Every structure is written in structure tokens, then in C-alpha cells.
Amino acid sequence: MNAMPPFHVTQATRTSRVAVLIALALLIALAAAPWWAGRADMRLFSEIFIYLALASLWNLLAGFTGLVSVGQQAFVGFGGYMLFALAIFGGVNPLLTLPLAGILGALIAIPVGALVFRLSGAYFAIGTWVVAEVFRLGFAQVSALGGGSGTSLPAAVVREIASGRSLRESIVYWTALGLVIGVLALVYGLLSSRQGLALTAIRDSEVASESLGIDIWRTKFLVYVLTAGATSMIGALVFLQKLRISPDAAFNVNDWTAYVIFITVIGGIGTIEGPIIGTLLFFLLREALADLGSAYLMILGLAAILVMLKSPRGVWGFIVERFGVELFPVRRRVRFAEPGGEDLAGVSAEAAVAGGRDGSAGCRPAPRPSR
Amino acid sequence: MRDPVLRISCLDAFYGDFQALFDVSLAVQANEVLAIIGANGAGKSTFLKTVAGLLPARPDAVWYRGQTLGGRAAHDIVRSGIALVPEGRRLFPSLSVEENLLIGGQLGRPGQWSLERIYALFPVLRERRNLAATSLSGGQQQMTAIGRALMSNPDFIMFDEISLGLAPVVIRDIYAALPEVISDGTSAIIVEQDIGRALSVADRVVCFQEGRVSLEGCPAELDRAAISAAYFGV
Amino acid sequence: MDWLNTILQGILLGGLYALFAAGLSLIFGVMRLVNIAHGDLIVLAAFVALVVLQATGVNPLLTLVAVVPAMAGLGYLLQRGIFNHALGEDVLPPLLVSFGLSVIIQNGLLEAFTADSRKLDAGAVEVASFALGSNVVIGYLPLLMFVSAVAVIALLQFVFYRTALGRAFRATSDDAEMARLMGHDNRHIFGLAMALSLAIVAIAGVFLAVRTYFDPSSGPARLIFGFEAIIIGGLGNLWGTLTGGVILGVSQAIGAKIDPGWQLLAGHLVFLAVLAVRPKGLFPRVEG
């Protein structure tokens, strides 16, 4: 047998390197938005960032960890209410409440997670919904925070961010931009790390990964708590923008779960690029169908169903299959060193080695039977 | 020479990207018992599953009584009179012994097999008729599985490793009942790892090796050396 | 004796919750599908009853004659047209598809009927009641709902354990591949299961419409009550589900008596408590 040629393991692809350059340029443009974009545009960008962050987090939870939650609005609302509680009663600077809300969200996710993890599959999903309902009903009972009708952020508190309105809006905008970059970095970092490999292994086969020593329960629980914390932070940001909170707005299933799920599913669940594509499509569709009201949600729902039935990997999955691109590569490729420096056909860690037997005499080569 | 009742022609089978059968061709005559032997992973069970319709196949790869059967849905195929006693028995745990038998007869195909006749063949099942099927011993479960297949009054029965995991004395009892099971007009394929058993009950033997037919012939003609060579591929 | 009345109301309400749950439990038992649109289908049935009522003017309870077959037919079509194509190894597609369906139904109803709350007037039977002893009053309608729940569950048990169809359901649930070898077309079996589930949904929907005000967004709450009844009572046990529904109803009734704003919260907290202490429910079916 010949010795195996020297090889190294890489993650980047040529496309991804190009994409990084484009992303950097985009980032610089977005950071400069307060100087070239109007107020309405900045609010739209912030909204896009928020949905992109929420979708990426939900995707991490459902697409990569297999925990389908329809109750993430619990943490969005919780984060929002923590902003109000800490700023109004704790005298904390509103901007500082964001990371605090994140920590508190992660902390409360521990007992919540311990409860809902007793359920699995779709029952887990409904369980998360019940928890969100409990949060909603609970906060509606807190009269100090406005009870059932909610409350607004006092002007004095708002001024703590900055004294001038345009500076305030810029600061909130940059916070949103910073947060979404942080979330994307967190998700990508997690998935390309060894934890991420563990997650993919769990998703592909729980039995196999357990036999390899991966503690499934703990890994999933960790992701759940982390996602909850990040979602709470985003929730605080959402209501920092709105300056007003109420139980129905804070824990709204449509705003914080239905849209997020549809974005992720249509964009491509289980891929990092999916939520990006999905968010862009979502906002494009919203512009195009602005007048349709609830019919818009129906169309989204229909699109999500069609995607799930026909192309479960979503729009991005379709693109990957057709063109083989990958912007955020997490799979590892083995590259063998060849004299010309060319690498062999990228054999990703998951690909099976092709067979290559001839048919026996007497039978013509048979086409694959279609399923 | 009469047409074979079952004719397999250049059959391939795949599990996803993995190819399990390569250009398998064979035939079973009416009233004939064909034994298929081979090592683990040789493709024997895959073959039976494909004939039964649980795995896809090209339409003209499987001919039964002059009609193409390949690619038809499993529930259609059993209506045509092909029954499978699957590997591992696979009784329905939520059903009692009798319910397992009854569900086998769901189709209402006419024939000589009925609950009474099955109980006459395997009296121990009558005593346990209302127990959960999976609470029975291995041998009794095998009898139930065979009975369940018989209840559909098949013309063609396939037995997949019915001796697996059973004590020799139990295997002997089950094989003793086989002649009555494979009575007039019925053809059968028996997949067995126990070569001796297979040779003793079969009219013809086929050996599979890594998804291909490696040997074919009558038990009387084949010697141990030839079988070993075909079995292990050395 | 006011508490006795409260508890009694809660028990009877539990019957309605058990009705919400029965269809959900049936589908999960047969094909491991949890239909997130279940609650919205109950509301849809209520609106269908409304339409039938407006067209014919009969007593709302009589609309069952039309609503049950209509919903059953819809169930068969939904299963064969949509859910059958989503079912498979992965747990994600059926969940997301039923979630999408839930949103479509809610918004479809919103477009068709607006967000106004409605209620069907069943006339005299709504307020008719009889007294038990000196302090306890039982309404005929709540009693009818409870009795219907018991009847439905008894019927389901009969179908599952004493009919060929029930055998087919149980076998398909055990081992769908082997069931095909028995001559069953699984697509058809699943279609029948969903038809049966939506027939029960129809009954639940008509009772909902008569008992309380409903609007297009009332679905999720019904789903949650049914789900909580199942979890409290124990998976795989229909009589347990009835018990779960009763416990939920009683919790809500007691909560409401303490403070009207606490009605829903009390139920949820009891559910979470059971989940914490007895995750498999109070009377789970022990698998052989």
C-alpha cells in the first residue's frame, strides 16, 4: 500500500473568502448609515438586524440542535421587561440593561429549560408556548410595570442614552448593528467549534453520538440557555427602540415567533446563510405586499409549507444544491497535497466513498430506480 | 418448460447511495422451495424486501405470474398473493396474538388458512391467543409471524431467517410444520443462515455473496467446497 | 357551598377540555404527529357551525349534522394532501407544516369573518339547569358537554380495541412498514385517522361556539388546553386525558374564583407543577 499523501484540513472555500470581503464592505457602509441614511431607513435597518438575529438564534436552536421552540417570545418579552424594570427601578443606564437582560434571560432559562426538557418533539414545542403564555399572564399582573396595558419608558430614562434625539437614534442603531454581528459571530463560532461538530453529530444521529461520549442533554441544554440569553438581549433592544411595552406586544406570537420561523424555514433551516436570505426575502415581500394585512401572513404560511414539502432546505439549500456554494463553511474538507497544488474533489467529512463496480455479464447497466 | 411463477431479472437495490444488490437474476417455479443462503450483509433480506415491495425496483426487474411487479406498492403486492415472514418476526406489540393473526387476514383473500387452522397447526398459540404478542417466547413469536403471513392465503411465501435466535429444538419443531405450510400450489423462498436446514428443505439453492448470485443449483449436486467458495467468496 | 359549585363547574368544563384533547391524542397515537393547527381547526369548526346556522337557522347543536361530516372530509383531504407528504423520519417538517397551517387558518378566518367575537345562541338549553340538593346547580349544557366527552372517549376506545380499523391504527402506529405488508395503504389509514380526529374537533368546535365567545385568534388557547389535559393525564391514555381535562378545569375554576385574572394562570401553573413532579403524567400508559 502507498503512504497517504500529506493533507491538511481546511474550512474556507474560495467563495467564502470573496464573501468575507463583500461583507466587510457592507459592514463599513452600514456602520456609516447615520451619515447617509434617513431616520426611517435606519429604523428599517434596525428591524432587519433584529429579525436576522432572532432568526439566526432560532435556527441554532431548531435547525442545528433540534429543539423546535414556538415560545421564544417568552424571552423577547422577558428581555423587554427587564429593560424597563432595571432602567426604571434600578436606575441602570438603558444601554447597560441590554447585557444584563441577556444574563437574566439565561438565568431564567435554567429552570424553564429544566421543565420543558421533560417533553420532547412537538410536545416540547407546545410546552415552550405554554411557558410564554405564563410569562405573558404573569407580567400582566405586575401593575408596577403597567399591568395589562403596559407602560412607556420615562423621558428622563430615555435621555440617559444621549441628550439629543438624533444621537440617541444613532446609538441605538449602532447597538442593533453590533448585536446582530455579535449574534452571527456567536452562532458561527459555536457551529464551527468542536461543540458545533457535536451538535451536527447529534442532529444526524443521537444514538451514534451518544456512543461516542457526547452528552446530548447537556449540550442541548447549554444551547437552549445561551439562545435564551441572546434572545433576551435582543428583546431588550426591541423595546429600547419602541420605548413602550405591553404584555401583548412583548409576548406576541406572530411578531416574535411566526415571522421568525417563516424567515428561517423559507431561507433555509439548518444553514447559517438561511436566516440571512430569509430575512432579506421577508422584508422584500413585506414591501411588495404591504397592503394585504393578514393575507400577508397567509402567504408566508403557505410559502413555508411549500418549502417544507418540496425543498426542506429552503431557498439557500436550493442554491447550494444547484451551485455548490457555501458562504459560512462549517464542514471540514480534507485536502490532499498533489504535485500541482491542486486539491482533489473536495471530499467532505460526510461524503461516502463511491463504489464503482461493474455490472455482471448478461445485464445492461441499469438506471437508478426512481422512488 | 413452464414459466416460472417468480422471475427476477437484473435486479439492483439501493439504500440511499449504497448499492446492496447487483444485477440479481433468478427464477422460482411453481410448487418449488428455493433456499437462499449467504453470509450476513450478502443482500438476502434486501432481496426479499424488494420482492415484497418495501424497497423500490424497476418494473421489469420482478415478474410474478407473468405480470411486472417491480415498483408496485407493498400493499398491492401482498394482494397479489405474496407474503413475507420478516426477519426478526416484527409482530405488532400493541396487538394480541390473535389480533396479529387477524390483521394478517385483513385482505380476505380466499383460501384454506383461517384462525382455526393456524391454531390447529400451532396449538400453543391458541392457549396464548389474548396475550400481547411480544410477551411470547421466541419460538412462539415465530409461529405467530408465520401464522400471520399464512392468514393472507398467499400463493408465494418468503421466510426470512426464521431460525434466527431460536434454540435448536424449537427450530426443529418449526421446520417440522413447514411441509403443511408450503402445501399444494404454494411456492416459497427460504432465507437461512443455517446451511444444513436450508439444504434439507429446499428443491434448489441459490447463494448470495456481497449482493450478487454466486452459486445456483440443487442440493444434491452441490458439495461443501463449492458452497464455501460461493458463500465466502474465496 | 359555593366552592362545591365552583368545583363542579370545573369538572364539567374539564369535559370540554378532554374533547379538545381527544382528537390531538388520537393523531399522536397513530402517526406521532402533533397538529399545532388543532386549536385553529376547532375554531374553524365553530365558524362553519356559524355559517350553517346563518344559512338554515336551526339550533346550533343541530349544526353538528353538517359540521361533523364537513370537518371529517376536510381532515381526510388535509392528511392525504399535506400531512402525508410531511411525515417521515424527521420531526421538523410535520411540526412546521402544521404551524404554517395554523397561521393560514387563523388569518384566513380573520379575512373572512373579521376579528369580531361571536357566540352561537342555543336558546333555552343554554341557561336551563337543575338543582342537586339545596345549593348545587348544574347546567344542562355543561352536563351535555361532559357526557359527550365521555361518550366520545368511550367510542374511541371501542374503535381502537374492538374494530378492524382500530387494529389497523394500532398496527400502523407500531410498525408502519409491516402494516403495509398486511395490505394496508398507510396513506388511507392516516387519512381516516385525521378524519376521525377532525370529526371530534367538529363536536368540540360546536360546543365551544355555544358555550363562549370566540374569534379567529381563539385557536392557540384551545390547543394549549388540550395539550395540558394530555400531559397532566398521561400520554397514551384517553381516560387519563379526561382526568387531566377535569384537573385543568377545576384548577381554572378555582383560580377564577380567587381572582378572574388568575383563571388561565392557575391552569398553567398546575400543568407546570405536574410536569415538574410527574413528567409522564398522572396515568401514563405503560408500554408492554
- Sequence ranges of the domains in chain A: 1-31+332-365, 33-323
Cβ(A60)–Cβ(A227) below 8 Å: yes
Query: Using one digit for the tens of pLDDT, what is the confidence trace for A103-114?
Result: 999 999 999 999
Reported as a pLDDT band with limits 50, 70 and 90, residue A2 is low
Mean pLDDT of chain A: 82
One CATH from 1.20.120.1770, 2.40.30.10, 3.40.50.300, 3.40.630.30 for B6-89+154-232: 3.40.50.300
Cβ(C242)–Cβ(C14) below 8 Å: yes
Reported as a pLDDT band with limits 50, 70 and 90, residue A370 is very low
Partner chains of C (3+ C-beta pairs under 8 Å): A, B
Of B219 and B37, which is predicted with more confidence?
B37
For residue A165, what pLDDT is reported? 84
For residue A330, what pLDDT is reported? 61
**CB–CB contact A62 C33 (8 Å):** no
The stretch A228-238 carries a mean pLDDT of 96
**CB–CB contact C184 B75 (8 Å):** yes
Cβ(A179)–Cβ(A233) below 8 Å: yes
Interface test with A, best of C92, C231, C274 (most A CBs within 10 A): C92
The amino acid sitting at C9 is Q
Query: Using one digit for the tens of pLDDT, what is the confidence trace for A118-149?
Result: 998 888 999 999 999 999 999 999 989 988 89
* Rounded (10°) angle between helices C238-258 and C219-233: 120
pLDDT > 90 fraction of chain A, expressed in percent and rounded: 42
DSSP state letters, B43-83: SHHHHHHHHHTSS---GGGEEETTEE-TT--HHHHHHTTEE
For residue B119, what pLDDT is reported? 93
Query: Using one digit for the tens of pLDDT, what is the confidence trace for B129-140?
Result: 999 998 999 999
Backbone angles phi, psi at A39, to 5 degrees: -60, -45
Query: Is the pLDDT score of A355 beyond 70?
Result: no
For residue C77, what pLDDT is reported? 97
Query: Is the pLDDT score of A340 beyond 50?
Result: no
**Terminal C-alpha separation, chain B:** 34
Contacts of A23 (CB under 8 A, 6+ apart): none
Q: Where are the domains of chain B?
A: 6-89+154-232
Reported as a pLDDT band with limits 50, 70 and 90, residue A73 is very high
Residue of C nearest to A308 (CA): C93
Query: Is the pLDDT score of B15 beyond 90?
Result: no
Query: Is the pLDDT score of B148 beyond 80?
Result: yes
Contacts of A315 (CB under 8 A, 6+ apart): A266, A267, A268, A274, A277, A278, A281, A307
- Separation in Å, CA of B94 to nearest CA in chain C: 6
Q: Which of C32, C111, C271 sits opposite A130 (nearest CB)?
A: C271
For residue C286, what pLDDT is reported? 60
Residue of C nearest to A116 (CA): C275
- Separation in Å, CA of B198 to nearest CA in chain C: 25
Q: Which of B86, B103, B107 sits opposite C171 (nearest CB)?
A: B103
- Separation in Å, CA of B131 to nearest CA in chain C: 11
For residue A285, what pLDDT is reported? 87
Query: Is the pLDDT score of A344 beyond 50?
Result: no
**CB–CB contact C95 A129 (8 Å):** no
Interface test with B, best of A358, A368, A370 (most B CBs within 10 A): A368
How far is A206 from B129, CA to CA, in rounded Å?
Answer: 37
Cβ(C282)–Cβ(C240) below 8 Å: yes
Query: Is the pLDDT score of C57 beyond 90?
Result: no
How far is A112 from A131, CA to CA, in rounded Å?
Answer: 8
For residue A357, what pLDDT is reported? 33
C179 contacts on B by Cβ (under 8 Å) = 92
Backbone angles phi, psi at B160, to 5 degrees: -105, 100
Reported as a pLDDT band with limits 50, 70 and 90, residue A19 is confident
Cβ(A349)–Cβ(A332) below 8 Å: yes
Q: Which of C91, C93, C265 sits opposite A121 (nearest CB)?
A: C91
Cβ neighbours, 10 Å, residue C81: 10
Cβ(A327)–Cβ(A15) below 8 Å: yes
Query: Is the pLDDT score of B25 beyond 60?
Result: yes
Cell of A347: 471530499
Query: Is the pLDDT score of A55 beyond 90?
Result: yes
How far is A65 from A117, CA to CA, in rounded Å?
Answer: 13
Indicate the range of A43-47, A274-278, A291-295, C193-197 predicted with least confidence: A291-295
Query: Is the pLDDT score of B211 beyond 80?
Result: yes
**H-assigned helices in chain C:** 2-31, 38-56, 64-78, 84-86, 92-113, 124-127, 140-162, 164-174, 176-181, 186-211, 219-233, 238-258, 263-277
For residue B182, what pLDDT is reported? 81
Give the number of B-C residue pairs with CB atoms closer than 8 Å. Answer: 69
Residue of C nearest to B81 (CA): C183
- Separation in Å, CA of C61 to nearest CA in chain A: 31
Query: Using one digit for the tens of pLDDT, what is the confidence trace for C248-279?
Result: 999 999 999 998 889 999 999 999 999 999 88
B70 contacts on A by Cβ (under 8 Å) = 369
For residue A293, what pLDDT is reported? 72
Q: Give me the interface pTM, i.e. the ipTM.
A: 0.87
Cell of C31: 402517526
C171 contacts on B by Cβ (under 8 Å) = 92, 94-95, 103
| Measured torsion, CA atoms of residues C72, C75, C81, C84, in degrees rounded to the nearest 10 | -120
Cβ neighbours, 10 Å, residue C89: 5
Residue of A nearest to C81 (CA): A309
Residue of C nearest to A264 (CA): C96
Burial, A12: exposed, middle or buried (Cβ in 10 Å; 0-12, 13-18, 19+)?
exposed
Residues within 8 A of A (CB atoms), B 59-88 only: 61, 70-71
Cβ(C174)–Cβ(B95) below 8 Å: yes
Cell of A147: 399591568
The amino acid sitting at A306 is L
- DSSP-assigned beta bridge partners for residue B208: B213
Backbone angles phi, psi at B34, to 5 degrees: -105, 130
pLDDT > 90 fraction of chain B, expressed in percent and rounded: 41
For residue A361, what pLDDT is reported? 38
**CB–CB contact C180 B54 (8 Å):** yes
For residue A183, what pLDDT is reported? 93
Q: Which residues of A touch C (CB under 8 A)?
A: 62, 66, 68, 70, 115, 118-119, 121-123, 125-127, 129-131, 133-134, 137-138, 140-141, 148, 253-254, 258, 261-262, 265, 269, 293-295, 297-298, 300-302, 304-305, 308-309, 312
How far is C65 from C151, CA to CA, in rounded Å?
Answer: 17
A304 contacts on C by Cβ (under 8 Å) = 96-97, 99-100
Residue in this structure with the C-alpha cell 400577508, named with its chain if needed: A296
| B94 inside 8 A of chain A by CB | no
For residue A4, what pLDDT is reported? 64
**CB–CB contact B17 A352 (8 Å):** yes
Q: Where are the domains of chain C?
A: 2-215
Indicate the range of A342-351, B104-113, B177-186, C135-144 predicted with least confidence: A342-351
**C83 vs A198, A303, C36, CA distance in Å?**
31, 15, 12
Cβ(A53)–Cβ(A236) below 8 Å: no
Partner chains of A (3+ C-beta pairs under 8 Å): B, C
How far is C223 from A344, CA to CA, in rounded Å?
Answer: 54
- Separation in Å, CA of C183 to nearest CA in chain B: 4
**Among the listed residues C193, C208, C275, C246, the one whose alpha carbon sits nearest the alpha carbon of residue C24:** C193
B15 contacts on A by Cβ (under 8 Å) = none
Mean pLDDT of chain C: 91
**CB–CB contact C93 A141 (8 Å):** no
Interface test with B, best of C172, C178, C186, C189 (most B CBs within 10 A): C178
B23 contacts on A by Cβ (under 8 Å) = 359-360, 362-363, 366
> Is domain A33-323 classified as CATH 2.60.40?
no
**C89 vs A231, A331, B120, C78, C94, CA distance in Å?**
30, 23, 41, 20, 10
For residue A359, what pLDDT is reported? 32
